[in-house]
Structure 1
Amino acid sequence: MTRILFPLFAAAALSGCGSFADRLGLGEDRPDPDVSAATEAAAPAPSVEASATPVLTSGANSAESLDTTTAEEREAATKPPTAAGASLGETVVSLGSATEPGLWIKTPLVQNEMPGRVTNPANGKSAAVTLIPIEGPATAGSRMSLPALRLIGASLTDLTTVEVSAAG
């Protein structure tokens, strides 16, 4: 009896394994990997014109090349404010869409779009930005533009705590 039950038990236990199940005829209908590879190799590559995603040139793979702000915009954003704005609180920021231009922070700390300022408490650098509301509790994180992160000396890959205030 053990000689009959063990092979059945083993077949049932291994039926979830794709290649073993395929060999026993127990698996789902899966495309033959050799046929799929041949089909992919024969398929033409999509043209650049047909692509909806912007294609970056070889030089567009650095933060410098993706930062589309002008020197004048960066200088204006880093000028000290004439009056202190109302503090809205602290938030943890990460890099937002690197291809979205401008100096902005998308944060749940505001209900309406408005001018504001972000300050990196680690080094004291600040920048004038547009505060853009997003849904979520005030304790939720925020996303900041690549140029704004660069101006305040924040890491593009780490999470950074910043102070957010309304424009003064």
Structure 2
Amino acid sequence: MRILIALTLALTATSGCAVLDRLKPATAATAATAAPDASDASEPVAAAPAPVLGAGGNTAAALDTTTAAQKQAALAAPAASGERELGKVTVSLGSPAEPGIWLRSALVTAPGKGRVVTASGQSVAVDLLPGQGAAQLSLAAYMALGLSLTALPEVTVFAN
């Protein structure tokens, strides 16, 4: 009887591992070595190549759709006389698919125009957008300010 229980537990544990392996997402290495279905025996199976930065339209410069004139105007925009400081916030990179020079933050209650200033004193005019959670700065604003795309800089936010 003990042998039967031990054998049942061993088989259950082994079959559980196979179930867990099917739940894990396939990596490029396992996808490339996976055997094709019998129904697809006539077609060879190949893993999709990994994207290479710079090979297509997937670089930061390619995703930034703002014009040089727009960036120049945003960087040259002087501080408005009636602007008010909304506060300081740490920003992360916003969606690269969303064009423009903008800041989305909980500090902003209504859409408008404003400016962000980095700790080093660099400034860029932005569209202020209300948001929730972590503040986000657009790809174009990151690039105009010369920030690393992986940086989490603290900026001071001003509204016009």
2:154 is equivalent to residue 156 of structure 1:
no
Q: For structure 1, which segment, 92-101 or 105-114, has the greater mean C-alpha deviation from structure 2 after superposition?
A: 92-101
User: What's the counterpart of residue 6 of structure 1?
Assistant: 6
State the Cα distance separating 1:106 from its structure 2 match: 1.1
Q: Secondary structure at the match of 1:7?
A: helix
- Native 8 Å contact 1:67 1:146 kept in 2: yes
| Alignment-mate amino acid for residue 149 of structure 2 | L
Find 1:112's aligned residue among 93, 110, 113: 110
Find 1:100's aligned residue among 68, 84, 98: 98
| Alignment-mate amino acid for residue 152 of structure 1 | L
Using the alignment, how far apart are the partners of 1:70 and 1:36 within structure 2? 52
State the Cα distance separating 1:158 from its structure 2 match: 2.5
Aligned residues: 136
Task: Indicate how the Cα distance of structure 1 residues 78 and 97 shifts in structure 2: closer, same or farther if over 3 A, else same.
Answer: same
Tell me the percent identity. Answer: 38
2:68 is equivalent to residue 81 of structure 1:
no
User: What's the counterpart of residue 47 of structure 1?
Assistant: none
Q: For structure 1, which segment, 68-77 or 80-89, has the greater mean C-alpha deviation from structure 2 after superposition?
A: 80-89
Q: Secondary structure at the match of 2:126?
A: strand
Find 1:67's aligned residue among 64, 67, 70: 64
State the Cα distance separating 1:159 from its structure 2 match: 1.7
- Native 8 Å contact 1:101 1:145 kept in 2: yes
Q: Per-residue displacement from partner, 1:78-109 (whole Å, max 9, x unpaired)?
A: 12324262111111211112122111011111
2:32 is equivalent to residue 38 of structure 1:
no
Task: Indicate how the Cα distance of structure 1 residues 38 and 91 shifts in structure 2: closer, same or farther if over 3 A, else same.
Answer: farther
Using the alignment, how far apart are the partners of 2:106 and 2:90 within structure 1? 11
Using the alignment, how far apart are the partners of 2:39 and 2:138 within structure 1? 40
Root-mean-square deviation (CA, aligned residues, Å) is: 2.7
2:136 is equivalent to residue 143 of structure 1:
yes
The runs of 5 or more residues in structure 2 that have no matched partner are: 20-33, 46-53
Q: Per-residue displacement from partner, 1:16-74 (whole Å, max 9, x unpaired)?
A: 1217xxxxxxxxxxxx96318938x589xxxxxxxxxxxxx944232222222222211
Using the alignment, how far apart are the partners of 1:165 and 1:60 within structure 2? 33
Using the alignment, how far apart are the partners of 1:61 and 1:9 within structure 2? 50
TM-score scaled by length of structure 2: 0.72
The runs of 5 or more residues in structure 1 that have no matched partner are: 20-31, 44-56
State the Cα distance separating 1:152 from its structure 2 match: 1.8
- Native 8 Å contact 1:116 1:165 kept in 2: yes
Q: Secondary structure at the match of 2:69?
A: helix
Task: Indicate how the Cα distance of structure 1 residues 155 and 2 shifts in structure 2: closer, same or farther if over 3 A, else same.
Answer: same
